[in-house]
């Protein structure tokens, strides 16, 4: 399957590292003009250079801004007034005893993981509908369905993204715009390595630590390993393509079989 996105532009939020970085590189390899986003200008500039090198495309630019704030979102929207493909990847996570998560932390998780996506959908969806084509992809998680006891606040935000995706897909019905969420399973990123160490300790070699984490904290995984970011990106690039024109309002899984469900 040859995916050609050379006539399309894409914004990937939180794309200076991890899954977002891999998605940006994947879209650039498919020919899209890609906008890399992060909070800091230096990190964004570094990520732009890396994505260009990894993808072989010079059609990669940066748009720094903290999308968890109205001011940051405005600065990104001023730099990028319209896109064909919006990937809401920005997110934070971390373990915390459930009864010790205060109101401020609940709000912070909601504003970063959920409201940032809503702001951009609200801004970009009207233009996509007018053009008769668009792709909105919200990067969710297996934690949206299998709520981890150590990350209830994170799971809540990812469940919210499933609802938002379904709702905005209905708003875009019949317009040529698709809206989906991607349920990513436990993925091998720098942040997840830190999270694994937080749970299993830092004394074990990485491969052993990863195995202990999967066995103890993610035993439902059918691949029995962490997923690589590029594996998430492969699905996102497909869903962003014309080939996925009949897929909308869905929660599409690339979770290594973690969610114990027959339906996607």
Q: Which residues are the active-site residues?
A: 154
SS3 213: helix
| Separation of alpha carbons 229 and 241, rounded Å | 19
| Separation of alpha carbons 109 and 56, rounded Å | 35
Using the Cα atoms of residue 251, residue 231, residue 31 and residue 45 in order, give the sign of their dihedral: positive
**Dihedrals φ, ψ of 96, to 5°?**
-160, 140
Say which residues have a Cβ less than 8 Å from residue 8's Cβ, sequence separation at least 6.
31, 32, 33, 84, 85, 240
Q: State the DSSP code for 140.
A: E
SS3 139: strand
Buried b (16+ CB within 10 A) or exposed e, 45-55: ebbbebbbebb
Nearest to 167 by CA among 82, 159, 23: 159
Burial (CB < 10 A; 0-12, 13-18, 19+), residue 182, is buried
Q: State the DSSP code for 226.
A: P
| Separation of alpha carbons 3 and 224, rounded Å | 30
């Amino acid at each position: 399957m040859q995916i050609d996105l050379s006539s399309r532009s894409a914004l990937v939020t939180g794309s200076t590292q991890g899954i977002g970085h891999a998605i940006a590189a994947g879209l650039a390899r498919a020919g899209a003009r890609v906008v890399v986003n992060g909070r800091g200008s230096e990190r964004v500039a570094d990520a732009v250079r890396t994505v260009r090198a990894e993808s072989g495309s010079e059609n990669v630019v940066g748009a720094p801004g903290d999308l968890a704030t109205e001011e940051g979102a405005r600065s990104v929207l001023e730099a990028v007034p319209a896109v064909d493909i919006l990937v809401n990847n920005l997110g934070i996570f971390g373990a915390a005893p459930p009864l010790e998560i205060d109101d401020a932390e609940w709000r912070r998780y909601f504003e970063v993981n959920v409201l940032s996506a809503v702001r951009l959908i609200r801004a970009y969806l009207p233009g996509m509908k007018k053009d008769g084509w668009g792709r909105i992809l919200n990067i969710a998680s297996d934690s949206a369905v299998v709520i981890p006891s150590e990350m209830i606040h994170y799971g809540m935000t990812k469940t919210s993204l499933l609802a938002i995706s379904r709702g905005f897909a209905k708003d875009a019905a019949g317009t040529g715009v698709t809206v989906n969420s991607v349920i990513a399973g436990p993925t091998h990123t720098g942040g997840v390595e830190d999270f694994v160490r937080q749970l299993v300790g830092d004394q074990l070699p990485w491969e052993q630590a990863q195995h202990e984490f999967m066995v103890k904290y993610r035993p439902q995984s059918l691949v029995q390993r962490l997923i690589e970011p590029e594996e998430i990106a492969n699905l996102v690039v497909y869903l962003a393509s014309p080939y996925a024109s009949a897929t909308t309002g869905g929660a599409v899984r690339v979770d290594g079989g973690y969610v114990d469900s027959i339906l996607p």
